[in-house]
Structures are given as structure tokens and as C-alpha cells.
Amino acid sequence: MNDITSKILFIDAEKETLDSLQRLMLDEDWDCYYVSSAKEAMDFLQAKAADLVVTDVTLPDMDGVNFVSEIRRLYPSTIRMFLTGFSKQENIIKALAEGYTQQIIPKPWIDQELKEIIRSALRQSKQQKKHSPEFQVLINSIPLLPSLPESYSNVRSCIVGDEVDIETMAKYISQDVAISSLLLHWANSALFGQRFQVDTIKKSIIVLGTDIVENLILSESVNRTIAGKLPDIKGFDFGKFKKHSMATAVISRLLIKSLLPTDFDQHDRAFVAGLLHDMGKLATASFFPVQFEKAIELAKRRRSPLTETETEIYATDHAELGAFLAEWWTLPPFIVNAIRWHHQPQATPIDQDIIAASHVANLLSYQFHFGSNGDTCLRGIADEYREKFYLNEEANEILRTETEKTIRALTS
């Protein structure tokens, strides 16, 4: 398959539809192919393969749902979409829910909307190819990757280059009581050195800085979206997960502050890396709850790291899955790397100090008993990181005390 130009296969029994699609795609830099039956499509896929298949549900020689089911079986890394005038039929909704198709686009379509959906799907396909075939199969079993939370997108829209529209940002944030309260709590915490009361959203943005504000909103929005849909997973407690994430953010910032006392940008990055490091566990719990529970149970029984049993059961782990989701959302590279390498900081290609801080903070958060996140094996901190962050008994006690103080203030 050509790694540069994406291949799209359109299948529709109506010549007029294929002609319209062909005209629409003329100005796009994609290799597009058009066939009118399932047999032609299968012959094409056998000969050339495709990154994306867009098909009608009504085909002359095969039921559309059975057709995409067969594509998933034979070509699991190919992304599949329905383009149909029957988008609300029960069998089509079921196909989406069970991951046979990843998107349903109604006919008649809106030209630019259709192109944006295709661009998004091709971006996902490109990202999948960086991973193993097993990972591609797993990702393609997810009906829909979640979109970037609207609250985060709204705040991002207030930042253009080096210019920040704080007034509009504060207005967006003020519309959400829970997020407003969260930011005010953090802005008034001792972690950010406040000696006066922060009593407005605008002040909290100034105190925390836009990077931290953005990612606190991202974290809260993702937590809120996923938490309401999570089934009961033995060994995974969402409340303890949130506490662990907050503690890891606090400790990570304190560690970088001890290493680079005057580099305030790095302090903020370390906080964000610690806050989001385990985002992949939420994704795994949401997308693959049955397998995730099995991995937790197996790790507990063997007293082994969760990442090992995850890889054994579903050919990847929460770190790789979380990094994929962060890439899908085009989050900054340091966040992607913090999620991907927080268990293996020596492997990160960039931001070694940040990822090392989130790695150590993650382990210290366990040792200090600040929540949990489904992991069952308490791991020690390597000597090189103890030396790097000047960790000894006294330093550990200071970190524990400062973190406890911050967590207590946030949850009171």
C-alpha cells in the first residue's frame, strides 16, 4: 500500500451517487476508486487494499452490514463507513455499536462535512500504521474514537499564536460550574504559591496560566464524559483514579521545581504530564472493559505490572492506547510522550526531564497511597531517578506532606 497517498474505495449501486462523489473528490489529493457492488469491492481490496471504505448499506449482491462485517474480518486495519439514506435503521445502528462500521454518514450529505469526516478517518488510519498489526485491529474494533471535548476546543479557540483572549476564555469557562469551581480550587492551592484569594475565573487563568487551564479542562471533560458510561470494573475505582492523577500532577510539578527552580514553563508542563499520564486507562476501561478487568485480575494474581498482562491479553497497554488517543486529538507532543512513556522514561525521544518527573511522581503517588488506578504491583524507583531528583527520606516526606495538603484543599 502506498504510504504517501491515501486510498479510498467508494461502493454504491447508484451511478449518480458515484458520479457525484467522483466530482466532489477531484480536488483532493487522495487515490479514490468507485465500484457498484460488494464483489467488485472485494476484488479491489484483494488486489490493492484501501485505507478507507465508504459504502452504501443497500448493495445489489450483499447486505451492507454483512459486507462491512466481512471487511473487518479480512482487512481489520481498513476503516469502514456507511454512506446511506437509511441511517436510523436498527441493523445499521447495531453495526455502529458493535464496531463493524466506525461512522454513519447520511444521504444526502453535506460536501464539506463529508470531506472533513474522511480527513479525520484518514488521519486515524495514518496514525494506526505507526503501530503493530494487532494494535490496528484493536483500534478498528472501536466504533467511534471520542472527539475532542467541546469545552477544551472552546478554550483553545481563545489562543491564537502568542495572543490570548482571556475575557472570552473566562466567559466560556464560567458557563460550566464544575470546571469553574475546579480552576478556582487549583488557583487557590498552595501549589501555585498564592498568598491572596483568587475569586474570579479571570484571575485563576492568570495565576494558573493557559497551559494548565486548558489541560485541567481537558482532564475534567474527559473524566466527566467517560465516567458516566463506565461499567463496574473490578479493581478499578474511578474516584481513586482521579485522586491518583491529581497527586501525580502535584508531585511531578514539585519534582521539576526541585530540579529546575526558575523554569516555570517546565513546572507547568510537568504538572500537565502528571495529570494526564494515565488517560489511557480511562480509554481502556471505556473501550475494552472486559479485557481490562481480566488484565487487572491477572496482574493481581501474578503480582506483576499491569502493562505486562494488558499486552498479553489485548496486544497493547494503556500507555500506547492513551498516546494514540492524544495523537488523535493532536495534543502537544510532550503530553503524547508523557502518556506513552511514563512507565519507560528512558525510551522517550524528547522531554526527558518531564517524562522522568511524571514517571517518578506516578510511583511516589502509589507509595504515598494517594488513590489508585488499577495497577497492582508496587514498583521501586530506580537509583538514577532518586539521584536525579535528590530523593531521600526527608525529601520524600516533604513531597508527601505538600501533596497531602494540596489534595485535601482540592477535595474539601
Q: Tens digits of per-residue pLDDT, 349-378?
A: 889 999 999 999 999 999 999 987 666 666
More confident residue, 195 or 106: 106
From 82-86, 90-94, 221-225, 261-265, the region with the lowest mean pLDDT: 90-94
Residue 353 dihedral angles phi and psi, to the nearest 5°:
-65, -45
230-411 and 7-139 share a CATH fold: no
pLDDT in tens, 298-356: 999 998 899 999 999 999 999 999 999 998 888 999 999 999 999 999 998 889 999 99
Mean per-residue pLDDT over the chain, rounded: 90
The mean pLDDT value for 56-66 works out to 92
Alpha helices (runs of H) in 110-237, residue ranges in sequence order: 111-128, 133-139, 150-156, 166-174, 177-187, 201-208, 210-227
Whole-angstrom distance, CA of residue 377 vs CA of residue 302: 9
pLDDT at residue 410, as a whole number: 84
Q: What is the CATH number of domain 230-411?
A: 1.10.3210.10
Q: Which percentage of the chain shows pLDDT scores above 90?
A: 63
Instruction: pLDDT band for 2, please (50, 70, 90 cuts).
Output: very low
Residue 1 has pLDDT above 60, yes or no: no
CA-based end-to-end distance of the chain: 56
- For the chain, what are the domain ranges? 7-139, 230-411
**Secondary structure (DSSP) of 209-225:** -HHHHHHHHHHHHHHHH
β-strand partners of 35: 11
How many CB atoms neighbour CB 83 within 10 A?
22
pLDDT in tens, 199-212: 899 999 999 999 99
pTM above 0.95, yes or no: no
Whole-angstrom distance, CA of residue 243 vs CA of residue 249: 10
CATH of 7-139, one of 3.90.230.10, 3.40.50.2300, 3.40.50.150, 3.10.450.630: 3.40.50.2300
